[in-house]
């Protein structure tokens, strides 16, 4: 019976020690990622904004192209109307009666109205084209500005990553290896606690009789139970897993 109890105590203590080592590894990974601050998010936001600007710019250029094509078409239609007027006037010289003359006159009048309409639409088109070009210029300037910002942010992020990436890779591997030695149920609880904690702490030491996570006092008897590591105990206030302060052991 004593041997069985001793084995159980060692097993629980081992679990706590492994969990605490995992916490220290993950906390160091958190620290490295904190050094990078908001840069990865800022880079992502800039990339998304640039993508949106490029899409908008492509659409604006398509609209400009359509306006310019419309202008060319109107000029050609005006030329066609002018050619039709010349043809109708030539035919007027050879009509046999007033009815034919008046019919051709109406055709000429219609073509003259078409020319005036094209001229009016052409002026409106020029204004639209100029306005569209101004918008495109502003969009291009904004895009260039955002690309410049992205280059600076990316360079800053790359510099930080190059300094810390090896350490993060090493620690990430150590974290993965440590997790292999923790039972699934306990690891799930650990991951849940880390996810719900602002500072990522799931396992904390008892420091000066208080929880190292929420700093609430722990009853003396419970402190003794924590020191013996006979079972896994959590803080009654914040739910974090408690382990003895290493300096007190």
Show the domains of the chain with their CATH numbers: 2-36+183-248 (1.10.287.1490), 39-163 (1.10.287)
Spatial CA neighbour of 162 closest among 247, 8, 39: 39
3-state secondary structure of 88: helix
pTM beyond cutoff 0.85: no
Give the residue among 29, 21, 17, 10 at the shortest CA–CA distance from 171.
Answer: 29
C-alpha closest to that of 119 among 147, 155, 80, 78: 78
Identify the three-state secondary structure at position 204.
Answer: strand
Indicate if the pLDDT at residue 223 is higher than 70.
yes
Rounded Cα distance, 59 and 76, in Å: 26
Which pLDDT does position 9 carry in this prediction? 45
113 and 81 Cβ atoms separated by less than 8 Å: no
DSSP class of residue 231 equals S
Cα–Cα distance for residue pair 173/167, rounded to 1 Å: 10
Can you read off the two tokens belonging to residue 74? 């109107």
Residue 2 scores a pLDDT above 60: no
- How far is it, in rounded angstroms, from Cα 158 to Cα 177? 27
DSSP state of 206: E
Q: What's the CA gap between 243 and 195, in Å, rounded?
A: 19
Look at residues 196, 208, 209, 198 and name the one whose alpha carbon lies nearest to residue 239. Answer: 196
pLDDT tens string 74-112: 999 999 999 999 999 999 888 888 899 999 999 999 999
pLDDT in tens, 3-40: 444 444 448 899 999 999 999 999 999 999 888 888 89
């Amino acid at each position: 019976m004593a041997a069985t109890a001793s084995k159980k105590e060692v097993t629980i203590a081992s679990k706590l020690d492994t969990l605490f080592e995992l916490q220290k590894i993950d906390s160091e990974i958190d620290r490295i990622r904190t050094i990078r601050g908001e840069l990865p998010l800022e880079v992502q936001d800039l990339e998304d904004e640039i993508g949106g600007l490029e899409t908008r710019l492509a659409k604006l250029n398509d609209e400009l192209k359509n306006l310019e094509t419309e202008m060319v078409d109107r000029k050609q239609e005006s030329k066609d109307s002018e050619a039709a007027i010349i043809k109708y006037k030539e035919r007027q010289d050879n009509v046999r009666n007033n009815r034919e003359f008046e019919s051709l006159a109406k055709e000429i009048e219609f073509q003259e109205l078409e020319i005036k309409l094209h001229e009016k639409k052409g002026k409106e088109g020029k204004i639209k084209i100029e306005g569209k070009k101004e918008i495109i210029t502003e969009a291009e300037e904004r895009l260039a500005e955002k690309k410049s910002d992205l280059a600076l942010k990316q360079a800053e992020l790359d510099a930080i990553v190059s300094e810390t990436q090896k350490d993060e890779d090493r620690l990430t591997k150590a974290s993965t290896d440590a997790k292999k030695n923790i039972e699934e149920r306990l690891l799930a609880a650990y991951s849940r606690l880390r996810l719900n904690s602002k500072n990522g702490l799931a396992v904390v030491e008892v420091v000066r009789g208080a929880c190292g996570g929420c700093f609430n006092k722990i009853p003396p008897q419970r402190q003794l139970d924590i020191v013996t590591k006979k079972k896994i105990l959590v803080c009654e206030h914040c739910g974090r897993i408690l382990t003895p302060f290493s300096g007190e052991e």
